[in-house]
Amino acid sequence: MSDVQAPGSSPAPAGGADIRPRVERLLTDILGMMGFPARLDFKDASDGSLSVALHFQGEPPPGVEPGKRSQVVDSLQFLLNKMLHRPGNERRFLLVGAGVHPEPRSERLKREQAAAQATAAAAPAPQPVPPAAAPAPRPQQPKPARGPQAAAPQAKAPAPQARGASESDERSVEVAEDAALREVARKLAEKSASLGRFYALVTLKQDDRARVLKAVEGVPGVKVSCEGEGRNRRVVFTPEKPAPLPKRSMLPDDDDEDDLEG
């Protein structure tokens, strides 16, 4: 998209592949389809990787805050590294940050270890604990009476509610309508039905998930539901007639995810 701009970048360091053109093209397409155009700022990281800061032109995606990590930015970084690192090609990893250049993982670990050591050194030495006195003997409880005069057993306390039960069905939540969210949700549902593609909305609060479910009621050719628990709960768009992805859009088979963490 023409809304995504990349300033003039310096050549890649020796021994690293210059992936800036591909990164610019891929991020242009992805952010353009998401509806959140941004200006790209490239920088060579200290560990040899390529860092790119996303300066969004307008409001950032939901759940994204400048200078902080989020599921949306981490997912973009993972997806781009998968698309860039084809088998047999020279690898140069990509770091993605919102508004700032992310700190390389090696430097972040060193900083956290140094902070932990400084905290441990500043902590006062633990005071010796005096030996505890022997507990007093417990008085013997009278035996319960037998027969018809025996006391009735106490009622069992109700079992605690299972985690996530309150969010098991967003359709029962009463919320006020959000016109902007309703329009976006219906367009996404219609797109899922017409293209046969699966989509998911993440980092939404329970009220917003309920608004999305109510907004897409009546859209033919797609089923919309909520899946997952806690912070991983998401709204999933499932088309009735899924369409296979073209081969050129499929990701490679290698799954070395640990190397892709920034």
Kindly report whether the global pTM for this prediction surpasses the value 0.75. no
Question: What is the average pLDDT score of the chain?
Answer: 78
Identify the top-confidence range among 34-38, 145-149, 189-193: 189-193
Co-location of 113 and 184 in the same domain? no
Co-location of 113 and 225 in the same domain? no
Range of the domain at 15: 1-117
How many CB atoms neighbour CB 126 within 10 A? 6
- Largest Cα–Cα distance of the chain, in whole Å? 92
Co-location of 111 and 178 in the same domain? no
pLDDT tens-digit series, residues 24-56: 899 888 988 988 898 899 988 888 888 998 999
The pLDDT score that the predictor gives to residue 161 is 45
Co-location of 113 and 186 in the same domain? no
Q: Is the residue at 205 inside a domain?
A: yes
- Dihedral of CA atoms 68, 72, 77, 82 in degrees, nearest 10, equals 160
Q: Is the residue at 227 inside a domain?
A: yes
The pLDDT score that the predictor gives to residue 169 is 76
Domain count, the chain: 2
